[in-house]
Chain A
Amino acid sequence: MTRRASFTNASGTHPEVPTEPDSGVVARTEFVCPPFDQVYAETFPAVWRMVRRMGVIDSAIDDVVQEVYVTVYRKLDQFEGRCAIKTWVLGILTRVVNNYRRVRRRKGRGHALSSVVGDPDLLPDSQIDPHEQVSRAEAGRIVHGLLDELDDDKASVFALAELEGMSVPEIAEALGTNVNTTYARLRAARRDFERGLRRLQAQHRG
């Protein structure tokens, strides 16, 4: 379990240092992989949130999070510090969760949006403190429902960007996709999310 001590910079990525000041040659200092427990402690809150947001049913959340960390443990030796550890772990998470979503769809366990979200009259008004109108849990359920309507790629990009605050280049690294593709998916995801929200409001007002 114990691995060599971590050596990362403030952003969590592995630093590069010039070997010769004028040579232009940049060499990586020896990277040492962080221990599993450190990775777990640093990433668990984000992993848990993402699993909940990506449509995993409550009774399966533990199992999916476990699967993520068993995979993390098995692959930790392959982590080379080219990105923040959180980015790397969330990349694994995305693959595990997308696989779960595919299996769930095949088994016909998808939820209808209306069955997932709550009373639309409780949707927050942007002009008023949302906490006065809607409970956090209710808002969370609505967000889950809207994310559930997005396809896997869009839902992942949207949740990582809008809910975890990751930059597009970080998301591209995590998902192993092109940066431009990631930008395009985020734009499309935002449009779909807005559209779903408008439709939800219309349904409940109609």
Chain B
Amino acid sequence: MDELGPRARALLDAAEGADDPASADAVRVRAAVLSRIGSAGFGAALFSLSLEQAKAFLGAAVPKLATVALLAVGTSALYHHWREHPNALANASVPAVVSAPAVAAAPPVAPSSTSPQATRAPSAEPAQVRSKPHPLAKALQRDDLEAEMRLVRAADAALRAGDLALSQNLLIQHAREFPNGALAEEREGLRVIATCEGSATESTRRAANRFLQRAPRALIAGRIRAACAGLDEPEN
């Protein structure tokens, strides 16, 4: 077979690594893919568990948690921030609206085994990297979406059955185990609904408004609007 000439070969050699992704690329794209899968793939099936199934899932191992520590911003917001500020991962910390720790460049993706470029040095990462790995970088290494789905479905089933305490416990468990999980947005939405159904105070309405302003097209947005009365009232 006709082989490439030395000049073309040298050009290809010189371009080695020019197209390698940064570790931040892998984390960012995965978050977006999981978000799309979560919206389109799971869809209605996400919230389709009975209360009995929820209780069976939870069993007797419901942890008694003293505090609720839900993150205010989920994966989608983080992803959109990265899309708008592609250099933020290496050059700056995540802005204050994102309640996640500073970002690091933890290489979460294994090199492909057959690529000749897999063994080469990765493309130059920006110099300013943080030592603490970002939660999403850790999440990338875990196959945890199914576990997330089970928790969120169970929480929703409990919520629909009126068992607010059980629902809150499941959401707390999800927040603890998957603070930046792919279904963080769904978790936060369910928490808002549970709060509204429990006591529709001004603070819960503000929480609902914040969620809807942040994620107006979330799968759960319609349910939040229905559950939380007075959403359109101006805030004082």
Contacts and interface: CB of A to CB of B under 8 A. Distances in A.
Interface of A: 1-2, 12, 35-38, 40-46, 48-49, 52-53, 62, 65-66, 69-70, 73-74, 84, 86, 123-126, 130-131, 133-134, 136-137, 139-143, 162-166, 183, 186-187, 190-191, 193-194, 197
B32 A45 contact: no
A67 to B, nearest CB: 9
B12 interface: yes
Given A123-B7, A187-B1, A37 B142 contact: yes
A42 B14 contact: no
Contacts of B13: 124, 130
Contacts of A65: 29
A162 B3 CA distance: 10
Contact count band on B: 35 or more
Interface in B104-133: 108-118, 123
Contact of B143 (A36, A48, A166, A197): A36
B165 interface: no
A165 B16 CA distance: 12
Contact of B6 (A126, A134, A143): A126
Interface string B1-41: 11111111111111111111100011011101100110011
Contacts of A42: 110, 112-113
Given A73-B33, A183-B1, A164 B14 contact: no
A43 B111 CA distance: 8
Contacts of B20: 45, 48-49
Contact of B19 (A41, A44, A49, A126): A49
A161 to B, nearest CB: 10
A40 to B, nearest CB: 6
Given A48-B19, A194-B4, 18 more contacts: A35-B143, A37-B141, A38-B143, A40-B109, A41-B110, A44-B29, A45-B111, A66-B36, A74-B41, A123-B7, A139-B14, A139-B18, A140-B19, A143-B15, A165-B115, A165-B116, A187-B1, A190-B3
